[in-house]
Amino acid sequence: MGNENIFDRLFETASRRIAQRSSRRSLLARLGTVLVGAAVLPTLPVDRSGRFRKAHAQGFAEQAQTADDTQCNYWRYCAMDGYLCSCCNGGVTSCPPGSEPSPTSWIGSCLNPDDGQVYLIAYRDCCGKGVCGQCPCLSTEGEMPVYRPQLSNDIDWCFGARSMVYHCTGAGIVGKA
């Protein structure tokens, strides 16, 4: 899958960076090319749709709409996990007052039913406040255990934020798939 390969490449880059400055280089060297989690890569988008993009998009797209971003079936939320920032006085690309956007994100590929195009969506958590609690949209379609972190929704993705306390999630377009 294309996105997986992108992800793997990003992780390989991260692995090399870790190896370069790790005091346990010998261990990492022995492990060779095995996937190592990304260390401090604040702008690394993490692909949480992966190979299930198609299945997820197909299932989601049938009921997706483009009018109301406070509903779980808003088209950009095809790989959404969490509380909608749009319901918390934030927006699809803005955090609610007092919270901070995480510099890390995971990625989905969502079909816009208006133009029929598939867009890359970066899901960013807003952090540093307790759980917003409004509009939970927790999908398990394509969701994997935490040993496949890029596809797991059991992980707090506020990596790189000043506080990793999770508040809500938004969904910004970062390109065309």
Partner 1 sequence: MAQRRGLLSAASGMVLAVLVPGQTVVAQQTIEALPEEARLEVVEEWGVNVLPEASPRWVYVLDVAFDNLIASRINIYDSDTGRFLGVVHSGFVPNLLLAPDKSELYVDETYYSRGTQGDRIDVLSIYDAKTLERTGEVILPEGRALLVSKLPAAALSPDGRFVLSYNMAPATSVSLVDIEARKYVGEIESPGCALVYPTGERSFSMLCPDGSLVDIAYDESGGAEVFQNEPFFDSETDPVFSHGAIDIAGGRGFFVSYDGVLYEIGIENGRTALADQWSILSAADAEEGWRPGGWQLLDYQPALRRVFVLMHKGPKWSHKWPGEEVWVLDPDRNERVARFALEEPAISLMLTRESEPVLLTLTDTGTLGVLDPATGEQKRRIEGTGLTPFLLHAYAE
Q: Which residues bind partner 1 (CB under 8 A)?
A: 11, 14-15, 18, 22, 24, 27-28, 30-31, 34-39, 51, 104, 128-131, 133, 140-149, 154-156, 158-159, 162-166
**Beta-carbon count within 10 A of 149 CB:** 18
Q: Which is nearer to partner 1, 69 or 125 (CB)?
A: 125
Catalytic residue among 68, 125, 154, 156: 125
- Is 115 catalytic? The answer is no
Q: Which is nearer to partner 1, 162 or 176 (CB)?
A: 162
Q: How far is the CB of 57 from partner 1 (least distance, A)?
A: 13
Q: How far apart are CA 157 and CA 138, in angstroms?
A: 15
- Is 75 catalytic? The answer is no
Buried b (16+ CB within 10 A) or exposed e, 126-139: bbbbeebebbebeb
Q: How far apart are CA 101 and CA 87, in angstroms?
A: 16
